[in-house]
């Protein structure tokens, strides 16, 4: 399991939520964290069970993986 950072929407500034994820291939992960997700409290850019592309970036001086785009399931057929 890997931690992927997902942007929170409607926060007024860039804010990220750490979310557990399973690596599917190189830069593609499937987000987990359904137990963390409360749509009444925060809006994730990509919800639990989404397959996303990730890129390395720096948050708070630490290199992390950030989800930046949904991945089409057709890539895996």
What pLDDT, on a 0 to 100 scale, did the predictor assign at position 56? Answer: 97
What pLDDT, on a 0 to 100 scale, did the predictor assign at position 77? Answer: 47
Please tell me whether the overall predicted TM-score, pTM, comes out greater than 0.85 for this model: yes
Q: How do the domains of the chain map onto residue ranges?
A: 2-76
First-last CA distance in the chain: 23
- 8-31: pLDDT as tens digits: 999 889 999 999 999 999 999 999
Residue 41: count other Cβ atoms within 10 Å of its Cβ.
8
């Amino acid at each position: 399991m890997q931690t992927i950072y997902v942007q929170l929407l409607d926060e007024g500034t860039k804010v990220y939520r750490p979310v557990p994820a399973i690596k599917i291939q190189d830069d593609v992960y499937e987000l987990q964290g359904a137990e963390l997700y409360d749509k009444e409290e925060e809006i994730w850019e990509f919800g639990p069970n989404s397959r996303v592309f990730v890129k390395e970036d720096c948050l708070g001086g630490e290199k992390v993986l950030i989800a930046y785009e949904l991945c089409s399931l057709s890539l895996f057929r």
